[in-house]
Amino acid sequence: MPRDTVADVELLYRHVPDRAENFPIDAPSGIRRLSSTAFSDRYFRPSVDRADLCEHKPAHVQSDPTDGVVSLCVHQIRTIEAVRNDANGREVQRYIADVEPNPLNGNKAHAEILVNPAISSETKTVFKKIIERLSRLAVMWEIAPKSCR
């Protein structure tokens, strides 16, 4: 049986809990911005849901009606790269973001953003670079958190 793949043109939804650390106020502008903490994951594989498989209903990913939902395009995620350098500034390893389906607990839309090669606790600074980039790509609130409405 062929393995399901996530197409470049797919839209993904990311659940963002309504907590101040996920969207702090930018000091110069006074505008709330999406923080990289919105993509934190202890296993270095942030969960997302595929919009096509949840009928393009962003509320599908909310845990609580006060939480927010942002969207990202798979193609943009796959353009994210991060480099780990040695003490002399020479490139040691290049890391590339990807998305793979991971249906679980009856949720056929569930997928994960991962990094190749895999991130570990020793390379978590690379993961921080990746999630910072994700936070800049996810500029569209499909559902704004209650504290931002």
pLDDT in tens, 22-37: 988 878 887 778 999 9
Q: Residue 83: inside a domain, yes or no?
A: yes
**By C-alpha distance, which of 75, 71, 27, 82 is closest to 49?**
71
Whats the size of the chain, residue-wise? Answer: 149
Show the tokens assigned to 129.
Answer: 């670079």
Q: Which of 36, 35, 37, 63 is nearest to 49 (CA)?
A: 63
pLDDT in tens, 91-118: 999 999 999 999 998 899 999 999 999 9
Give pLDDT tens digits for 83-92.
Answer: 999 999 999 9
% of the chain at pLDDT higher than 70: 98
Structural domain includes residue 111: yes
Question: Is 142 within the bounds of a domain?
Answer: yes
Radius of gyration of the chain (CA): 16
Give the whole-angstrom CA distance, residue 130 versus residue 101: 19
Q: What DSSP letter does each residue of 44-57 carry, written as one string?
A: S--EEEEGGGGTT-
5: in domain = no
Place of tokens 């006074």: 30
In a domain, 4, yes or no: no
How far is 5 from 77, CA to CA, in rounded Å?
14
Q: Which amino acid would we find at residue 21?
A: E
Residue 63 lies in a domain: yes
pLDDT of residue 1: 35
Q: Assign 143 a pLDDT band (cuts: 50, 70, 90).
A: very high
Rounded Cα distance between 126 and 147, Å, is: 31
The verdict on residue 2 lying in a domain is no
- Boundaries of domain holding 95: 11-148
For the chain, the domain total comes to: 1
Q: Is residue 117 part of a domain?
A: yes
The more confidently predicted of residues 2 and 144 is 144
**Both tokens assigned to 81:** 């790269």
